[in-house]
Amino acid sequence: MNLNEFAEAQKPYSTVRPRVKKRKISCSRGIDPFVKLLSGEEAIDMVNKRWLLYRQLHFQFHAQVDEIVQRIEHDMRREISHVLDKGSKTRSSPSFNCLFLMGSDSTTNIELMDEDAHTLNVIIDLTPKESPNVRMMLRRSMFRLLSAAEASQVGKAVVHTKSETTEGISVIDNELDGANVEVSYDLSLVQNFKKVFKKNLKLIFNFKDVDSFNSQVLDDFINLLKSSLEHDSVDICLVLNINTNLSNIQKNLKQSTVRMLKKNFTVIDLSHNKGFKYANQTFQSFLNTVDGKLNLSSDFVGFILEKMANNATHNLQLLTKILDYSLMSYFFQNPFSVFIDPTNVTYFDDNYLPSLMKCPTFMNFVDGMVRDHAPSDEIISLLENRKSSLKEFFAEFLIRENPINGHLKLVVDVLENQLGVFNYNLIDLYYHMLTAKLPEFLAKWPESKEFDDILKFEPVDIIFQEFFTLDNSKELFSQSLFPFMRSNLEDNLINSDRILPPIAKKRQYGANPFVDDFEMSIDLPLCKLFSLYREASSLINLYDFYCAFKETVSKTVLLNYVKSTTDSTNSTLNKEERSQVTTLVEKQSGDEIVEKMILVWFIQSVSEFQQIGLLKGTNNSSCEVVEKCIWRGL
């Protein structure tokens, strides 16, 4: 047995990962992920068109998002390079050029600045695993520095390296003109770098995952590097990748070290974007994708604002996830989504009429016609789709565009070009426009009052807009993207009909009544046990739990099922299976068999509860008591 197998054998649990056969999707064969809507009456060609339209908008949106992500990475690298390019020798006292990367996962690439003929830039990455003590950190750093220097000086100088030792070399007073020089893996290499390689040195220490470093070792190493700052030819930059927050690092380091780092430091937060720049670009790219096709409801935009306010670290990823899911959900469940391409109106048939006539904006329009005493023939013709009048009326409003997107561009132009405001939340602005509260949003900038005349906006309702609006109706997005795991688990375990398919076959003549009764009257043992679990106290005696479970199971139904299984005339088992069952139940009474069945169900259900985290063992040496993990009661 190898080490991995031995480690797996020592685990008190096992992880089972079932293999799921992936469904093959081929639009050319008419097999799409979407299903038929309109009670199954939707044409297969329309299902395929919905899928193709979704893929078109999906690719268009993600192409823009990919460009935004590339710009973010480019801007981030440029900002980091700009900070590291600053010299620290212009200050009155020697200091490190310190850069704190907040929210960094230590995978951030730091690029070397453009080198000149007189300076060598070297990046030294240090991880907690490679830095158990100061001696090892120094030896690794100097080895990497020497390797980089030799690579840049091939054919220019001959460098002899002593055996690895920490003893310093004797400092040569006279200038060296390219003769052979002995160096060692300590700071003497940094101090004599100018003499050896005839170049200035810019040394960048990239400390990855600073939170996992030994604080004392890190503090001592930084103080050790301080002595190299006295040399004018040496410039040292410290890059600290921090996962948590800056205050934790300040607490762990000595105050003198913190003051030294803060002499010349810069903080770049990578966990979220500064201001709303990239979130605005992502949201605007989505509006550009659906412009002239789909609208956004105020409930949906408010849902986005709420979720982004609760997540401060990955807002851009969360926004993309919500917008992407909303687009997929809309095309998956809305049969009218195919008509965002007006040319598809030629495929409009009577199956769409019932939903069309229940549309709230259309019903309001008909009510208006009645109030205005419109001709009854015109109203009836519209409601009954005589001479395709309703179809033509629907097609007329397909080309109507919501003016909100055009007015949004006007407001953005005034804010940025007239008022010089760039740090604003475009999503919040869009929400205030949808709710007719634009003046409330613009009140943050009093100078915007002079533009009240051109910025005035009132949202309008377009007939049939419900079919072309992304909405969080009945909180479907909330449940799908951020499900209530506990409530869903409880509902599924209370009502097994939510997780089991219904019995489709009806009782036929001559069918076994015992089998039908068993399927319809016996619930899942897991569900039966959960109903008792919810009512139990935080500590459960397994024997009492078993007795209560046994009382909830109908013994008569189980006994009838056993009899029907062993009966050769009514059993659905084959001969071999029936003989195995007969062997198991022979020489045992019916009550004993039922007792064993209930016991097996109970043990199996308790084990499953422990595996999914509803029950756990106690510190008590006795195994008769288990503890509830959730639903602990009052």
Q: What does the H/E/C string look like for 348-361?
A: CCHHHHHHHHCCHH
Q: What is the pLDDT of residue 314?
A: 67
pTM over the 0.85 mark: no
Under 8 Å CB-to-CB from 227, ≥6 apart: which residues? 187
Mean pLDDT, the chain, whole residue set: 81
Tokens of 388: 């395709």
Q: Which residue, among 240, 310, 309, 314, has the nearest Cα to 271 in the 3D structure?
A: 314
DSSP helix/strand/coil, 24: coil
Q: What is the pLDDT of residue 80?
A: 87
Q: Which residue, among 186, 430, 183, 436, has the nearest Cα to 286 in the 3D structure?
A: 430
Select the more confidently predicted residue: 334 or 500. 334
Q: What is the pLDDT of residue 67?
A: 93
User: 93: burial class by Cβ within 10 Å (0-12, 13-18, 19+)?
Assistant: exposed
DSSP helix/strand/coil, 397: helix
Burial letters 471-505, b for 16+ CB under 10 A, else e: bbeeeebeeebeeeeeeebeebbeeeeeeeeeeee
Mean pLDDT score, 576-599: 80
For 220, half-sphere exposure in the C-beta direction (CA atoms, 13 angstrom radius) is: 13
Least confident of 334-343, 377-386, 521-530, 616-625: 616-625
pLDDT in tens, 229-268: 888 888 899 999 888 778 888 888 899 999 888 888 888 8
Least confident of 8-17, 110-119, 235-244: 8-17
* Phi, psi (degrees; rounded to nearest 5) at 234: -115, 130
Under a CB-based contact definition with an 8 Å cutoff, are residues 390 and 362 in contact? no
pLDDT band for 21, please (50, 70, 90 cuts).
Answer: low
Under a CB-based contact definition with an 8 Å cutoff, are residues 126 and 140 in contact? yes
Distance of CA 166 to the CA centre of its chain: 48
Neighbours of 95 (CB within 10 A): 18
Q: What does the H/E/C string look like for 197-234?
A: HCCEEEEEEEECCHHHCCHHHHHHHHHHHHHHHHCCCE
Indicate the pairing of strand 119-126 with strand 200-207: parallel
Q: Which helix (H) or strand (E) holds 515?
A: helix 513-521
Select the more confidently predicted residue: 30 or 265. 265
Q: Which helix (H) or strand (E) holds 576?
A: helix 575-585
Q: What is the pLDDT of residue 94?
A: 79
Q: What is the pLDDT of residue 119?
A: 85
pLDDT band for 53, please (50, 70, 90 cuts).
Answer: very high
Residue ranges of domains in the chain: 89-263, 404-459, 485-628
Q: How far apart are CA 453 and CA 410, in angstroms?
A: 12
Burial letters 432-446, b for 16+ CB under 10 A, else e: bbbeeebeebbeeee
Q: What is the pLDDT of residue 339?
A: 92
Q: How far apart are CA 427 and CA 280, in angstroms?
A: 7
Mean pLDDT score, 283-292: 92
DSSP helix/strand/coil, 370: helix
CA torsion, ordered 550, 551, 556, 562, to nearest 10 deg = -10
Any long-range contacts for 402-405 (C-beta under 8 Å, 24+ apart)?
Answer: 402/295, 402/460, 402/462, 402/465, 403/460, 404/295, 404/430, 404/433, 404/434, 404/457, 404/459, 405/287, 405/291
Partner residues linked to 31 by β-bridges: 26
Q: What is the pLDDT of residue 571?
A: 61
Crossing angle of helices 376-383 and 360-371, in 10° steps, is 170
pLDDT band for 116, please (50, 70, 90 cuts).
Answer: confident
Mean pLDDT score, 182-211: 83
Q: Which of 142-146, 181-185, 555-559 has the highest average model confidence (pLDDT)?
A: 142-146
Percent of the chain at pLDDT > 90 equals: 20
Is a pLDDT exceeding 70 seen at residue 27?
no
Is a pLDDT exceeding 60 seen at residue 206?
yes
Is a pLDDT exceeding 80 seen at residue 562?
no
Q: How far apart are CA 304 and CA 319, in angstroms?
A: 7
Q: What is the pLDDT of residue 115?
A: 67
Q: What is the pLDDT of residue 496?
A: 76
Q: What is the pLDDT of residue 567?
A: 67
Partner residues linked to 126 by β-bridges: 207
Q: How far apart are CA 325 and CA 47, in angstroms?
A: 19
pLDDT in tens, 152-178: 766 454 444 443 333 333 333 333 344
Mean pLDDT score, 132-149: 89
Is a pLDDT exceeding 80 seen at residue 474?
no
In Å, the largest CA–CA distance within the chain is 112
Q: What is the pLDDT of residue 161?
A: 41
Q: How far apart are CA 597 and CA 531, in angstroms?
A: 19
pLDDT in tens, 394-438: 888 887 777 898 899 999 999 999 999 888 999 999 999 999 999
Is a pLDDT exceeding 90 seen at residue 583?
no
pLDDT band for 442, please (50, 70, 90 cuts).
Answer: very high
Is a pLDDT exceeding 70 seen at residue 558?
yes
Q: Please provide the DSSP assignment of 411-448 as one string.
A: HHHIIIIIS------HHHHHHHHHTT-HHHHHTTSGGG
For 628, half-sphere exposure in the C-beta direction (CA atoms, 13 angstrom radius) is: 18
Burial letters 16-54, b for 16+ CB under 10 A, else e: eeeeeeeeeeeeeeeebebeebeeeebeeebbbbbbebb
Q: What is the pLDDT of residue 174?
A: 39
Under a CB-based contact definition with an 8 Å cutoff, are residues 45 and 347 in contact? yes
Least confident of 104-118, 274-288, 339-353: 104-118
Is a pLDDT exceeding 50 seen at residue 463?
yes
Mean pLDDT score, 363-369: 90
Under a CB-based contact definition with an 8 Å cutoff, are residues 149 and 193 in contact? yes
Q: Which residue, among 268, 368, 272, has the nearest Cα to 318 in the 3D structure?
A: 272
Q: What is the pLDDT of residue 159?
A: 40
Q: What is the pLDDT of residue 427?
A: 94
pLDDT in tens, 268-286: 877 655 568 888 999 999 9
Q: Which residue, among 278, 275, 329, has the nearest Cα to 303 in the 3D structure?
A: 329
CA torsion, ordered 144, 147, 149, 151, to nearest 10 deg = -140
* Phi, psi (degrees; rounded to nearest 5) at 99: -125, 120
| C-alpha angle 46-47-50 in degrees, rounded to nearest 5 | 85
Provide the 8-state DSSP code for 163: S
